[in-house]
Structures are given as structure tokens and as C-alpha cells.
Structure 1
Amino acid sequence: MSDTLDLLVIGAGACGLAGAIAAHDAGGSVAILEGRDRPGGNSALSTGSIPGAGSKYQRAAGIEDSPERMVADLIGVAGQHDADDLTAMIAAECGPLCEWLIDGLGARMELITAYRHIGHSVERLHAPRSRRGQDLVDDLLRFVADRDIPIAVGNKAEALMVEAGAVVGAIVNGEEVRARKVLLATNGFAADPALVARYCPEIAAAEYFGAPGSTGDAVRWGESLGAALGNMAAYQGYAAVAYPQGQLLSWTTLEKGGILVSETGQRFGNEDLGYSGYAAHVMKQGPFAWAIYDARIHDVAMAEEEYAEMSAMGAIAWADTPEALAQKLGLGADGLSDSVAHYNAAAQGDADDAFGRSKFALAPLQAPFAGVKVKPGLFHTQGGLLVDAQARVRKAGGGIIPNLFAGGGAAAGISGRAGALGYASGNGLITALVLGRRAGITAMEDIRAGA
């Protein structure tokens, strides 16, 4: 790294890896800095699910979709927000992105047709067959290694280098690393309690389950340079982390007809809000909740490796009646029995659901019944540096900060202005990969143009 690089990437999650690959393949000299001792960040902890509106894989499966439909879906979930212009760009580029990953690079991914998840009106999520983000990260690392792009793990960028208002590199271990362009791919600020309390107070008391490197570096560096910030109160929560195992309880268990109940055995809201939007509701009713579903739903979820591992850990209690399950879980037996009875009546169309749920999938629930103790958590923030459609960081007063790009959690996302209700499945990874790739391509276009 003694010579001036074309692109210095700070952060080795999906955003940084995609940006490095794109810039290298466009003819650039690239290097990646990673402050932690291993790459991956929050991307490795995800399910690896990426929306790809209008992809060739959808067409082959007979699924009609388009960027316009995805935009309508995203606006329907998130409403208008500070990064509206990115919504259309990301929707237009996500289908080609999936094709680039799978056909162009060789990622081990496929279109998911077994479920849609919150925010999508058609099956458009593409994910590793394992439903593990680590597999996607491993593929990206393999593509980086094939190109001999250096990754310096355990080397945290301490500050950006700025000359005449333009970013010209970073300080690492007291040394200068100079670059014509810099991509901030450091994720968000969910691992910094002070920043979470400042910008996302409703979820500040929740346990953080994301990667430890999400400490808000991009926000602090950007603010010092006069960057514009956007959607700072938005975040992705998760309503059901298995306790004490610490693994995600697959939301498939809820989407396919399961419910969440309190310690009294009673439901407390509409699970249709999704794994992110429902997290704050779980927090309000108590520190823990219990997911209740049945063997048919369990069989569907067993196709996901993480769920199968959680099951092998003994996280699931089984019983032939709600009353017996309540006894095993330490819940109010009468409450759980009533909750299941009322919910099943709604699922059968014999009554209105007390909380307005309208999607019941495999419900009504039937024996044998399953139960898992869970707790809500914070996974990543969705606010950050406002970027333009080329992933260039914007100034608060207009214009851009020369040579500086951002993507993923470092950039303002497309999940609304506040809270978790605007988060659609895949919003985190899609902003990481689309903006990372766009930054790498644009950086090289700018260099060739003398900018």
C-alpha cells in the first residue's frame, strides 16, 4: 500500500468486498482495510437474502416482477424518506446485481420461492442455499482472493486524510495510506450505545446482536467533513432471537402461521408487522416472549441450516396440547390455551383476529405444538451518510465531498425515516451490495475522466 491506490475500501463486509471487486474488474488498483480480526461484519450474520426485482431467475420461475413493483412495495412499507432517490436506483439495479453475483462471479445463491418475507409482494429474494450470510461473504472473499486484492485485517482506519476539502486516503496505525478514491463500508452505529440513544432511542434498551465493528466511524468522519445525514432514526430490529442460544428464530415460523405470546401465554400484537417492525412491540410487553407454532411449520423451517442448528441445541419445547406446552415453558396455561383457540378461530375464518392479523398461512395450529423462548434485539441501524445515485457522499449544504463514497450501513438506507416498521427484508444487504458495486464502478469512471 506504499503507492497511491485507485480505491481504498474501509470495511470488509458485503459492501466493501463488492466495491473492491467492481473497481478491480474496471482496471483499478484496490486494497481493503478491516478493523476487526476477520472480514464479514453484519453481512456474515445475516441470512444473505438479496431482493432482485426482474431477475432472470424470477422469469425462469414464472414470477412477474419489475423494479417499478419493487419501488411500490418499498414505498408502501417505508413511506417517503430522506433517500427517496436511492429507492428507484436500487430497485433498478438489484436484479442485474443478483445476476452479476450468481452468473458473473459464481456465488452459491438461488431464488427463494418458499417464502417472501415482509415488504415483498412477490418472491424476489435471492439467497445462499444455506440461508447464511456467511456463505455469501465466503464467496465474495474467494472472488477477492482470486483477484489478489489485499485485505489487511486487524488494521482499523483511525481517520480520513483530507487535502483542500478532498479525501485523499486514511491514517492506519499512524501511517498514511493514500488513495484517489475512498469507499466507507464500515457499517452503521448500532454497536455504539451513545449514538443509538441519540438517534434511535426507542430501541436503545435492546441487546445488540450485530457485528462489533458497527461503531459509527462513518457518521463521525462524515459529520466532521460537513456530510449530510439521513434517516438516522431508522433501524433493523429482530423480534425473536432464541434465548439463551442467541441464534435467530427463523421468521418463517411466524410467517407460516406461528404466534408470539407473553409470559401469561397471551398474544400482544399483530405478527404480520414482520421481524423488524415487531421488535419494539416485543420489548414493550417484557424482556422475553415465546414463539408458538406446530410441527408442520417446524418441518418447513428445518430447510434453513441455522434453524436446524437451533433445534439441535434443544431450543424447542414440544407438547400435544397448549396447556402442556405452557407448563413446559413456564407460561400461563389458561392464557396460552385461550390465545391458541382465539387465533385458530380467526385462521379458520370463524372470527376476526383480535389484533388485525390477516395472513395465517398454515394455521390453524395443531398438535404437536412447538414453543421457543425468544428476546428482541437490535441488529443494525439504517441511517447514515446521504449519498447520490453513484454512491458519492453528499455535503449538507449541497454538492459532494470529493473522492468519498459510502454504502451499506455507512450510508442512509431505504427503510424510512424512523423506527423499524419501514424495513423490508434484504434492505440492508441490497444497499450494501448495490452501493458498494456502484461506488467501485463510479470511482474508476471518475479516475478515467480525470475527476
Structure 2
Amino acid sequence: MAGTYEATSGGYGGDVTVTVTVTDDRIVSIEADAADETPGIGDEAITTLIDRVIQGQTLNVDVVSGATGSSSGFLAALALALEAAGADVDALKEKEAETVEEVETIQSQTTDVIVIGGGGSGLAAAVSAHQNGAKVILVEKMPRLGGNTILSGAAYNAADPGRQESIEMTDLERETVETIIAEEQADELVQSWQATLAEEWEAYKASGATYLFDSPSLHKLQTYNGGDKTADPVLVDQLGDQAYEGIEWMESLGMEFNDYMFTVLGGLWTRAHQPSEPLGTGYINAFSNYFDENADDMQYFLNTKATDLIVEDGKVVGVIVESNGEKVELRASAVVIATGGFAANEEMREEFNENWPSLADIKTTNHTGATGDGIELGQQVNASLVGMSDIQLLPMGDPETGSLSGNIEQGVQDRIFVNSDGLRFVNEGERRDVMTKALFEQEDALMWTIVDQHSYPTGDTRNNFNETIDELVAAGRAYEADTLEELAELIGVDPANLVATVDEFNQAVDGTIEDPFGRTLFDNKIDIAPFYAAARKPTVHHTMGGLQINAAAQVLNEDGEVIEGLFAAGEVTGGIHGTNRLGGNALADIVVYGRIAGANAATSLTAE
């Protein structure tokens, strides 16, 4: 029946109210009140779903990856409203989407720099190119900017003595530095990092300082060693040297970071910076604001997929994009590929996977657009691919969705992992691949993260994904108890085992015993109620392989030669992380190499 109808259902952060206007046979408009959904994530997901439903005249739409709760709540409320209107909701859930003719299509045009991909690295490249004198067009195949960056926990690794001075260094961390200095290295550049680190370390000890030591040299060595020494040392060198400059650059664009620093999962050191805004919204907002302020010279187009590179006389001179079903030619003096990885492309994961059991049934933390498009574009011009089998899994996926939301850890030091027997099974400060492989060996590949009041002083304390612990407990995604025995009963593990496990961990924190798993990262005991637990499973997170680049972020061909006019940045590239990426290095990679790619793409204009 034609008219306007309203209904409400539970979303991720609270109730989602949907108002839908229909004719006798069409959905005309949809409005949603979702004030409690995460800014930049849940609200953007709902906007995306509104577009899909109206354009396709169907409820047969997929939830938006990374915003499952918001998506499900919206779709449930919409179904109730349509049911009140007398619509056949079951039929709408089965109906194939209608093909809708769009009115506006991008016109063929020429600019200085074209950036393919509107996630963090693409936006960084676009802003950097403009700051270096270029006019920019950015194309993004998805209906919103942000990519994986906006869904991320947003931790950014950089040595930062100013912020790290408030952190007390432990004896075990001192031993870690000395072990890294003594480790045998074959590469001359890596050896130079060790020599520099040795000098820095001696100066630090001579000063009598007790705060946490860190430096770009230590960051480089942990990155290189953490990827099994397979990364390109030249790229790692640049990442370590420019990581903190990237923090300063983001701050110059209006982004704010908290003074508090932490150790992110698999980060190996307390050098992760935490943005003041939730998740990755701070990065995307800063870049988007810059676009808005420079709209005369910068444009971006959504729902626009790059399908082919245009090559003339061996040089990339533009891109063919598909806009509303039409092929459009965009030309430029340089092109930057920044399309992200392929963690959401199951077929591609299986093609290149050599190190894991089948990944066919493993969910991913990534957004749905992370399908390897940029790698396929690079292959059109004979680009060299490196490290394609290096696919990173995390042990921290939501059991239902694979996303990182619901993760109750606040940092590595104050939490443990236990299996279905209530027993620890791995060093929780280890590399991500080591932890995930150990988790696969546990029953149902499932574990429980255990924390206490040190992580959540109050019920409204938020995790790194902008969720309060009270919200997670109310939603059944986390469990709370006043004793470890009660917590064990709630999660179905042996109470005696859990109590003994926590007691042993606390003794290791005290230094009374050596940790049985070799863990070196500690802060507080787990000894103050309330105690919390949340279930986690393996999830596909990052693809370290991709297009081979040099220090100028130029893409190389299979003969090791520069492909003129083509640059790349972010997860679409390979060679920076090796076999395993340290937690917190992705955002540093995005910013550092996005800046480099954009600047050099712009500089190439004056070199012609």
C-alpha cells in the first residue's frame, strides 16, 4: 500500500529506525536514524545499503563487511517497515537486483595525476601529489572512500621518544634489544642498522635512562626480522626513517593522536600510536577535508572502477574506467595504483596460498572491495609481483563475521589467550603468523581472550574499535564475571585450569618464574575483578605480496626496469613486509609510501 512506514530494530550500537516511502510497486525513499552506530563505519554502511536497495528494488543485498551489526539492524528494520506496507518481504529477499540507468557519467578528461583507489594509501598519494603541485583525479570502485583503513584499529607504528618517555622499560625488553644487536645479518644495509642501533643503545645506557628505548633502527630491524629477512631492505629502511615524519604530516592535516602508546597485536614493541578519532576515521576525515578545501584542483569519483591502463610508447598515460556502465578515458602524466590487497578475493587467495591450510572457509577482516584489482592492472603492463604467497592471518577474528570488532584487548601486555581447556598455548606477544598457527592447532581453532579491570576500569571504557565493554557484554560478544571461576563457567572452560593459568601468568609478570612460552611483554597482572573473556578465531587480514616497487614507489617490470608513469602504494605493493607484517606497520606503510608515490608522481611532471 502506497505511503510512508516506520520500524525499529537493534543495530550494532543501539536501535536503528527506518522510515520507508513506497508506491504500489516501488521503494521510493529510505531514511534511517542510526545515531548510535559508529561514525564513518556503521552509518556509512547504512548509506551504502540504502543506495543498493533503492537502485535494485530488492532486499537481496549483502551486509557491508566490517559493519555487520549495523547492516543487519538496518535490513531487519527495513523488512519490518515494508511488511507493514503490505510488501512481500520474502519475495524481495529473493529478487535479483534491477539494472538501474544512472543519469550522470564521468566525462573523458585530462589531469596531472590519476590515483586508483580511495583508501588510506590512495588518499595519501592524492594529497601528497597536490601538495607537490599536481592536479589530481581519484577513482574508487566502491560507493564510499576509506577502504580497509576506515575499518582498521588504526594503530600506527613509529619510534617516538617524546611519547615513549612515559613508559618504563623492563629487563626483558633490554634483553630483546641486545639480542637484536647480536643477531647475525647478511645484508650490508641491515648490518648498518645494527651498527647504528648499537651506538644508540650504548648512549641510552650511559644516560642512565629507564624509559622505553626506541629508534628507527630498532623499528627497521624488528620489521625485517619479523618478515623472516625476506623484505627489500631499501624499502624497510625508508619505512623506518619516515614513519614518524608521517605522524607529523598527518597532524599537519588536522589529525590528532593520543599521547598514550601501546603494543598492538603482533607489533613486538610499544610504538603504536592511537588516533583520537575512532578506528581509521581520523585518517580518512583528514584526507577528505583536504580534498574539500582544494576542490578546484582535486576530484574524486565513487562507483568508478579502473579496468585498463592506457600505455603509449611504453609509458602509462592514463586509465580507462567504467562509470555507470560506460567506458571513459582519463589521461594523466602519471598514475598511482593504490587499490589495496586481495584478502577479500577467495579465488585469488587460494591461487597464491602456499603457507596455510585451505583459506576457502576462512572469513576476512577486509572490506568487500579488497579483491586484487590493482595487481591485475599491473599485470597488464608486465609488472613484477613479489611475495604473493605471503598472506597474513590473525588469531583475532570475530567467530561469526571474521572482523576485528569485538576484540577486547587494549594492548598486548595485559591479556592472555586460552583454549577450550582454559590453558595458554602460545606466547601472546609473538608474531601474528606464529600465534595464528598455534591457534589452528587448538580445538575448533577457537580461543578466549582474557582481561581484567586493568583493561576496562569502567563499563563505558571503549576498545580500539570504539565499542564499550558493557555494550559487548550486553550483546553476548563478551562475558563478565566477578571471579575467574565464574568466568570459566560462562565460557565453558575448566575453572581449575583457568585459575591455575592466570596464577602462572601473574607469577611471570612478577618475575617469580620465567614465562613458559617465552613471553617478554608484560605490564599488569590479571588480578582485579571484573574479569572479561571474548571468543576469537583465525581470520584473513593482510596480503603482503603485490606489485614490486623501488624507493621512489615506481612500479618495476619483470626485468627489474621502471614502468614509466606508473607508481603504487599501500597493500597493493609487495616487498615492504616480507613473509609477516608487524602489527601497526600497515598504517605507517600507507602514509609513508602514499606520500612518496604522490610526491614522485607529481615531480615526474616537471621531469618531462
When normalised by structure 1's length, the TM-score is 0.89
Note the 1:37-436 alignment, pairs <5 A: 37-53=143-159, 65-103=214-252, 105-115=253-263, 118-119=266-267, 121=269, 123-148=270-295, 149-173=298-322, 174-201=327-354, 202=356, 204=359, 205-244=361-400, 246-250=403-407, 252-253=409-410, 255-274=412-431, 277-285=434-442, 286-299=444-457, 302=461, 304=463, 306=465, 308-309=467-468, 311-314=470-473, 315-416=477-578, 418=579, 422-436=580-594
Give the deviation of 1:162 after TM superposition: 2.0
Amino acid at match of 1:263: S
Give the deviation of 1:134 after TM superposition: 1.9
Contact 2:414 2:522 in 1 (8 A): yes
Q: Closer, same or farther in 2 for the Cα pair 1:56/1:38, shift >3 Å? A: same
- C-alpha separation in 2, matches of 1:54 and 1:255: 19
Give the deviation of 1:287 after TM superposition: 3.5
- C-alpha separation in 2, matches of 1:39 and 1:10: 12
What do residues 277-321 of structure 1 show as CA deviations (whole Å, max 9, x unaligned)?
423322332242111121222239935462533541323212233
Amino acid at match of 1:238: L
For the residue of structure 2 that corresponds to 1:113, the secondary structure is strand
- Which one of 113, 126, 141 corresponds to residue 35 of structure 1? 141
Contact 2:547 2:572 in 1 (8 A): yes
Q: Closer, same or farther in 2 for the Cα pair 1:118/1:305, shift >3 Å? A: closer
Contact 1:232 1:382 in 2 (8 A): yes
Contact 1:325 1:370 in 2 (8 A): yes
For the residue of structure 1 that corresponds to 2:350, the secondary structure is helix
Q: Closer, same or farther in 2 for the Cα pair 1:440/1:40, shift >3 Å? A: same
Contact 1:254 1:293 in 2 (8 A): no
Amino acid at match of 1:67: P
- C-alpha separation in 1, matches of 2:315 and 2:161: 38
- C-alpha separation in 1, matches of 2:213 and 2:109: 49
Amino acid at match of 2:494: G
For the residue of structure 1 that corresponds to 2:552, the secondary structure is coil
- C-alpha separation in 2, matches of 1:114 and 1:47: 12
Give the deviation of 1:359 after TM superposition: 2.7
Q: Closer, same or farther in 2 for the Cα pair 1:111/1:226, shift >3 Å? A: farther
Amino acid at match of 1:154: N
What do residues 56-81 of structure 1 show as CA deviations (whole Å, max 9, x unaligned)?
76699987644323212322322322
- C-alpha separation in 2, matches of 1:357 and 1:100: 35
- C-alpha separation in 2, matches of 1:393 and 1:102: 29
- C-alpha separation in 1, matches of 2:408 and 2:238: 28
- C-alpha separation in 2, matches of 1:297 and 1:436: 34
- C-alpha separation in 2, matches of 1:242 and 1:46: 14
- C-alpha separation in 2, matches of 1:35 and 1:396: 27
Give the deviation of 1:40 after TM superposition: 0.5
What do residues 28-64 of structure 1 show as CA deviations (whole Å, max 9, x unaligned)?
1111000001111111111222223358766999876
Q: Closer, same or farther in 2 for the Cα pair 1:302/1:130, shift >3 Å? A: farther
Contact 1:77 1:119 in 2 (8 A): no
Q: Closer, same or farther in 2 for the Cα pair 1:37/1:257, shift >3 Å? A: same
Contact 2:554 2:566 in 1 (8 A): yes
- C-alpha separation in 2, matches of 1:213 and 1:357: 37
- C-alpha separation in 1, matches of 2:594 and 2:387: 19
Contact 1:83 1:230 in 2 (8 A): no
- C-alpha separation in 2, matches of 1:387 and 1:39: 24
- C-alpha separation in 2, matches of 1:369 and 1:60: 27
For the residue of structure 2 that corresponds to 1:150, the secondary structure is strand
| Greater relative contact order structure (CA < 8 Å, 6+ sep) | 1
Contact 1:269 1:355 in 2 (8 A): yes
Q: Closer, same or farther in 2 for the Cα pair 1:354/1:85, shift >3 Å? A: same
Amino acid at match of 2:272: L
- C-alpha separation in 2, matches of 1:129 and 1:101: 12
Q: Report the structure number with the largest CA radius of gyration.
A: 2
Give the deviation of 1:111 after TM superposition: 4.4
Amino acid at match of 1:94: A
Contact 2:267 2:582 in 1 (8 A): yes
Amino acid at match of 1:379: H
Q: Closer, same or farther in 2 for the Cα pair 1:40/1:184, shift >3 Å? A: same
- C-alpha separation in 2, matches of 1:340 and 1:63: 26
- In structure 2, the gaps of 5 or more residues are 1-106, 168-210
What do residues 305-338 of structure 1 show as CA deviations (whole Å, max 9, x unaligned)?
6253354132321223333212111223343233
Equivalent residue number for residue 39 of structure 2: none
- C-alpha separation in 2, matches of 1:254 and 1:335: 24
Amino acid at match of 2:305: K
What do residues 391-418 of structure 1 show as CA deviations (whole Å, max 9, x unaligned)?
00011112111111111011115222x3
For the residue of structure 2 that corresponds to 1:176, the secondary structure is strand
Give the deviation of 1:388 after TM superposition: 0.5
- Which one of 14, 22, 45 corresponds to residue 120 of structure 2? 14
Give the deviation of 1:120 after TM superposition: 5.2
Q: Closer, same or farther in 2 for the Cα pair 1:313/1:341, shift >3 Å? A: closer
Give the deviation of 1:188 after TM superposition: 0.7
Identity %: 29
- C-alpha separation in 1, matches of 2:247 and 2:526: 36
Give the deviation of 1:241 after TM superposition: 3.0
For the residue of structure 1 that corresponds to 2:332, the secondary structure is strand
Q: Closer, same or farther in 2 for the Cα pair 1:284/1:356, shift >3 Å? A: same
What do residues 210-247 of structure 1 show as CA deviations (whole Å, max 9, x unaligned)?
11111111222223322111222333433223445854
Amino acid at match of 2:370: S
Amino acid at match of 1:331: V
Contact 1:7 1:31 in 2 (8 A): yes
Give the deviation of 1:251 after TM superposition: 6.9
